[in-house]
A and B are shown apart, each in its own frame.
Chain A
Amino acid sequence: SAVISQKPSRDICQRGTSLTIQCQVDSQVTMMFWYRQQPGQSLTLIATANQGSEATYESGFVIDKFPISRPNLTFSTLTVSNMSPEDSSIYLCSVYSVGISYEQYFGPGTRLTVT
């Protein structure tokens, strides 16, 4: 399995500001995924981040709002820009397990509250 860490674990931010979430994996992986879990809801994929190329965003998510960086094979960041209370969610980083591509593992999540 892959060991994934995220920073910060939680934050409270004011509307209009931006927050950058970091995701670190203990092994090199090709694809990293960013998910959002709104309060009481299921997980929704925001984007897929590949090293060396632009992230691929899912319908309803745009780069200006959720810019993503992927500088190397073990690290990625997701920025939530110009935040509003509707952005209050848990944001999770995810990767496929190295050598077992069917298994997808998740970081502990970043709990964001926007006031």
Chain B
Amino acid sequence: AQSVAQPEDQVNVAEGNPLTVKCTYSVSGNPYLFWYVQYPNRGLQFLLKYITGDNLVKGSYGFEAEFNKSQTSFHLKKPSALVSDSALYFCAVRSGSARQLTFGSGTQLTVLP
């Protein structure tokens, strides 16, 4: 079985400050980890993924995520938040043998001007 936890329903951060959105996972075998963003009345947009290799992965719009195997975490980060980053963020995982993604509950990020 595979599962994802996003412990924070809501994250507020001031514009220009660094942001972190937390994600922990549970999966059998090696994890494939993903972050998606959903803007109001829009579908999900792919941000970044970790499959193998460097623990720090970079994605779209200046976002990055750090894979930590010992802590089974894959936190999303950005050095300087923008108001336009305000959206709903989903972490997702699948094992190498699974065909479908399992999503976390989502974290609403609000960047305050």
The answer on A and B forming one complex is yes
A75 — which chain B residues lie within 8 A by C-beta? none
The number of residues on chain B lying at the interface, defined by a beta carbon within 8 Å of a beta carbon of chain A, is 19
The interface bits of chain B over 21-62 (1 if a CB of A lies within 8 angstroms of the residue's CB, else 0) are 000000000001010100001111110010100000000000
Which of B32, B43, B99, B101 meets A109, CB within 8 Å? Answer: B43
A11-19, A65-73, A98-106: which lies at the interface: A98-106
B106 — which chain A residues lie within 8 A by C-beta? 42
Minimum-distance CB pairs A-B, first 6: A108-B43, A106-B44, A43-B103, A109-B43, A42-B103, A106-B43
Given contacts A42-B105, A108-B42, contact A48 B49 (CB under 8 A): no
For the A-B complex with A42-B104, A43-B44, A102-B49 known, give 12 more contacts whose Cβ atoms are closer than 8 Å: A4-B43, A41-B105, A42-B90, A42-B103, A42-B105, A43-B103, A102-B51, A103-B46, A104-B34, A106-B43, A106-B44, A109-B43
B101 — which chain A residues lie within 8 A by C-beta? 45, 104
The number of residues on chain A lying at the interface, defined by a beta carbon within 8 Å of a beta carbon of chain B, is 20
B105 — which chain A residues lie within 8 A by C-beta? 41-42
Give Cα A31–Cα B98 distance, bound, in whole angstroms. Answer: 13
Chain A interface, DSSP helix/strand/loop, else mixed: strand
Residue pairs across A and B with Cβ atoms less than 8 A apart, 7 shown, are A1-B46, A45-B101, A48-B99, A102-B49, A104-B46, A106-B46, A111-B41
Contact present for B103 and A102 (CB under 8 Å): no
Nearest-neighbour CB distance to chain B for A38, whole angstroms, equals: 12
Contact present for B100 and A45 (CB under 8 Å): yes
Which of B41, B42, B43, B49 meets A103, CB within 8 Å? Answer: B49
